[in-house]
Homo-oligomer: A and B are copies of this chain.
Amino acid sequence: MAHEKYQDLIETLHECMTECNHCYTACFQEEDVKMMADCIQLDRECADICAYFEQALSRDTPFVSELASVCAKICEACGNECKKHEHDHCQRCAEACFKCAEACKTVA
């Protein structure tokens, strides 16, 4: 079944979702929150689409390639913003986002 075929992708999406949400929360603890505004908002966008796609895969959605395509795009945008910031949580998040974007592209 599809959810077995996509087991690795489900885990990659899950990791990206958690890293994005960790980064989201940690950004509010930084000195200059205004500077993190784009990062915070993209973290939410990315966490939400990863959580959505993860669930969709686990119920064998027929729309794998369409969702993978939009998810890859959002992961890349979030990764590009995160990598601008030197905070550990941003760098870890960027890494998770780029890994997830690549994984999504292979099924898009």
Contact = CB atoms under 8 A, between A and B. Distances in A.
A102 interface: no
Contact of A45 (B51, B62, B73): B62
Contact of A67 (B40, B58, B70): B70
Q: How large is the interface on A (under 10, 10 to 19, 20 to 34, 35 or more residues)?
A: 35 or more
A106 interface: no
Contacts of A61: 45
Contact of A25 (B1, B48, B63): B1
Interface of A: 1, 3, 10, 14, 17-18, 21-22, 24-26, 28, 32-34, 37, 40-41, 44-45, 47-48, 51-52, 54-56, 58-63, 66-67, 69-70, 73-74, 77
